[in-house]
Amino acid sequence: MYSFSFSRAKKVFGGLTDGQKSFPNSHYLGPVAIAVIKGNGSALMSPFARAIRGDWRPAATEAMRPSVTTKECLLAAVLFAHLGTPVREKGIKHSRY
């Protein structure tokens, strides 16, 4: 159980740094959205897979009822963004997390 939490936190942190590289002028919305998608991508992509299969249920999407892991990824992304994430392009090679 603990290994999943650490790998998810690493994915969220990596998504936040990727989001800051992709959207340099956005402080929260773009990087946090990319971090949540990267941290919990399988749950966010399952409605699209259901729609392709023809078993689409609009009430069962993550936007309407987010799961616990989506909420955890969102909280971690907001905390990492609020504490300040060093971007590798600015010359900071080692993070403090």
- Could you read off the pLDDT of 28-65 as tens digits, one per residue? 888 999 999 999 888 888 888 888 888 878 777 777 88
pTM equals: 0.73
Residue-level pLDDT at 34: 92
Other residues' Cβ atoms within 10 Å of the Cβ of residue 84: 8
Q: Which of 41, 34, 42, 33 is nearest to 15 (CA)?
A: 34
Closest CA to 44 of 28, 27, 29, 64: 64
Element (H, E) at 17: helix 2-22
Q: What is the pLDDT of residue 56?
A: 78
| Res 88: pLDDT | 44
What letter would DSSP give residue 91?
Answer: T
Mean pLDDT of the chain: 80
Which residues have a Cβ under 8 Å from the Cβ of 28 and sit 6 or more positions away? 78, 81
**In the structure, what pLDDT confidence band is assigned to residue 86 with cuts at 50, 70 and 90?**
low
